[in-house]
Structure 1
Amino acid sequence: MQVRGLVVMATVSKGCLFCFLKLVFNMASHDDGASKIAKAAVLSFFATCLIIIIAFSTNSWLETDGTLENPKFIQLGLWNFCLREFKDVKHLYDRVFNGCRHVLDEEYHIIDWLLRPPFFIAVQLFFTLCFMLMLVGIAGTLMYVLCFTYEHQVKLLRALAWDLTIAAFCGTIAVITFGALGDSRDWMPDFEHNFLSWSFGLAVVGTFGLYLSATLFFIEAKVQAKKHRDTTSQATFSMEHKV
């Protein structure tokens, strides 16, 4: 059930990203009245979404350096582990584990305590929250560009900015935790030959991208709020002048 949920989440994210791609293309190729800050915010967020989706779904958060002839650990992502001739370090089971499998696969269930220590469960949790809040941000961005009226844009921009800020905060917790403990001696075997790989790097870049996008949306909200106040003041002055 959990695996199926992740598959559904990935499918939904691809659909949202496709719609988002069309939106970005339209904004970049047409002068639709959107400010430069708004376009920069959307473009930055689109690039960040691509990066986070790749980091979320790929298996290169931690890898062996390739210097060992028969490493028991090959690589891992948030949801997949690649092992070779791997045995339970406590020798509770005689089973040997080979190949790349989902972390929730039944075959790996008996060593779940080893594959998913508390720190890694926390990494999965917080980066999944980051990912889901990013999807909310995609929906909000589509609403902002396609169907929200001018009067409600400021509120939506602020909501988007806060959503992405919280997503970035969750991502920060995830990458700091994994960066500190992912290649420690207490987890995967041959720790001295393991290194934080490119998927983890993308997660770090994506987290910074969320902070950047949130900042741009905050700035755009402030600009639009000032425009709204100026327009309201001008309309009020015109009415008083006529009277």
Structure 2
Amino acid sequence: MTVANNEYPKASNATLIGASITYVAGLFLLLSFASPYWIESYPEMFSSFKHMGLWEYCFDRFRFPSYQFDKLFHGCHYVFSQEYYVIREWILPGWLMSVQAFVTLALIFSFATQIVLACVIVRWPLRLVLQYEWTFVTISFTMLIISNVFLFLAVAIFGGNCYRRDWLLYPSFNVLSWSYAFAVIACILFGVAGILLYLESRKLYELRSEARNLVGQMQHSQPEHALHQLRNQLQQQRSIGWNA
């Protein structure tokens, strides 16, 4: 096995396909994380609420009923901006903050999985990857499943609470939008990639067990072979002595 001639085992097709699906799912998750279109109002309703994401709300001359001053909220602003300070408790309920946390954790674990899979595919560092490939793939599978669980919780919590009447006014005017759909697609793709990586980790574990058993058999057979050679040498020396 030489590095110069690339004469070393390459990553399997299952690992390549699983990593590719993971990268595509990570792109969908990143777009969902950053875009402000988790839910939006129907254009025909001319609602003062336009659309929102995990980190941004967009209003069109919105008047919050519980605010004692006559203030209109207009335009798109960051949820933690000074503009939304007086209504932050309303636009950021506890369940939405849990969605933010779960999606953020899913993005972090997804990014870490992509880094590990990239090392496995490009075989860097070579000796370490070849020696512990099963461990790297298992770690990737584990982090991907954790990311998938977090993302599933996020889309489930948001989908179950986005039409609450104590959150956005007139919830029947609103509809789930493409940012939420991207999160659902990413969740499905993470599940598919997780299955492929799990099957590959089992395959690598079996190969690793077979290699260890083979090494063990060779180690046990070496003393007997050496003893047999020693006996042959002693017999040859005795026969030479007798002939002399």
| TM-score range relative to shorter protein | 0.7 to 0.9
Residue 48 of structure 2 is aligned to residue 68 of structure 1:
no
Residue 20 of structure 2 is aligned to residue 57 of structure 1:
no
1:23 aligns with none
| SS of 1:59 mapped into structure 2 | coil
| SS of 2:197 mapped into structure 1 | helix
**Aligned partner letter, 1:52:** L
| SS of 1:110 mapped into structure 2 | coil
Bigger Rg over Cα: 2
Alignment check: 8 A CA contact 2:129 2:136 kept:
no
Write out aligned runs for 1:151-230 (5 A).
Answer: 151-230=131-210
Alignment check: 8 A CA contact 2:51 2:57 kept:
yes
**Cα offset, 1:32, TM superposition:** 6.6
| Structure 1 CA distance for aligned equivalents of residues 56 and 204 of structure 2 | 44
- Structure 2 CA distance for partners of 1:49 and 1:234, relative to 1, 3 Å: same
Q: CA RMSD in A?
A: 1.8
| Structure 2 CA distance for aligned equivalents of residues 183 and 197 of structure 1 | 13
TM-score (norm 1): 0.81
**Cα offset, 1:56, TM superposition:** 0.7
2:67 aligns with 91
Alignment check: 8 A CA contact 1:168 1:210 kept:
yes
**Cα offset, 1:206, TM superposition:** 0.6
| SS of 2:87 mapped into structure 1 | helix
| SS of 1:113 mapped into structure 2 | helix
2:85 aligns with 109
| SS of 2:163 mapped into structure 1 | coil
| Structure 1 CA distance for aligned equivalents of residues 217 and 93 of structure 2 | 65
| SS of 1:46 mapped into structure 2 | helix
Alignment check: 8 A CA contact 1:62 1:183 kept:
no
Q: Give structure 2 stretches of 5+ with no counterpart.
A: 1-7, 226-244
**Cα offset, 1:95, TM superposition:** 1.6
Q: Give structure 1 stretches of 5+ with no counterpart.
A: 1-30
Q: Deviations over 1:26-83 (max 9, x none)?
A: xxxxx972212111111110111111011111111000111123x1100011111110
**Aligned partner letter, 1:59:** P
Identical aligned pairs, as a percentage? 21
